[in-house]
Amino acid sequence: LRSPADLTILRSPSWWDFQHTTYVLAAVTTGLLLTIGILTLFARQRLKEQERQRAMAEAEFAAILNERNRVAREIHDTLAQGLTATSFQLRLAKKHASEASEPLNQHLDAAHELVRGSLAEARNSIWNMRSQVLETGDLASALKNILAQMVEGSERKTDFVVKGQARRFAPVVENNLLRVGQEAITNAVRHANAKRVSVELDFSEKQFQLIVRDDGCGFSVSHPPKSSGGFGLIGMRERAAEIRGELSMKSEPGQGSEIILTVPLPG
């Protein structure tokens, strides 16, 4: 050939040769890696934000509990002790006024009943506010002690069962579980007049269940009774919703009742 002009191009070669194909694959791979990196970065930032919000919520809850414990101590050291002393003085007054007129005794009895009621409300408020039972022990021991205290001095039979490996939960979860269990046990003992009360804690891998059964008078699930002292079934549902749990009730008049609280656990 004398020069390149002596060549005639009949058809141009394909652009997709080895070199160009390598470049394209490298560019696509780089783009995918960048996309994955950006998504991973966003995911980590989202997890960090969730952890930060969770830590803030737990810190706020701990501060609330500390303040409630302080108020509970104040009530115990002032109001509750004052009511106890007043009740004692009323009993002494009635004893010394045994020969007095009947109206005076009636007024003393009425005053004594009012003081006893106020003292019971104060103690109930203290119990609802304090969380030392969870600070010195776990959920199982706290509910077991509540069950024992509620039936103390009576002929009621109790069963307490723990299934699975017992473990601790976040403070907000444990506190709400304790209150729901306390209310369910109180309803069974004081309102259902049950002869046997059983409490079951089921610690599985993916969920936790709190089950309270009794053989008491039962109630209509469609028309549950209103609570006169505690926060009642509505409050139990609200506490269950606060920890993303589900509260179910099985009961019929005269056939006892079963309260089941199911809480999913993070995987």
What integer pLDDT is reported at residue 73 of this predicted model? Answer: 64
Residue 144, by phi and psi: left (phi above 0), alpha (psi -120 to 50) or beta? alpha
Distances (CA, A) of 139 to 1, 35, 89, 145: 96, 46, 39, 10
pLDDT of res. 199? 96
The conformational region for residue 193 under phi > 0 = left, psi -120 to 50 = alpha, else beta, is left
- What tokens does 56 get? 């803030």
Phi and psi at 265, nearest 5°, equal -105, 145
Predicted local confidence at residue 228, as pLDDT: 45
* Confidence at residue 230, expressed as pLDDT on a 0 to 100 scale: 42
Along the chain (267 residues), what's the average pLDDT of each consecutive run of 10 residues? 80 82 92 94 91 80 70 65 70 66 69 71 60 71 88 88 90 86 88 90 94 90 62 80 91 90 85
Q: Are strands 157-164 and 207-214 parallel, antiparallel or unpaired?
A: unpaired
Q: What is the pLDDT of residue 81?
A: 65
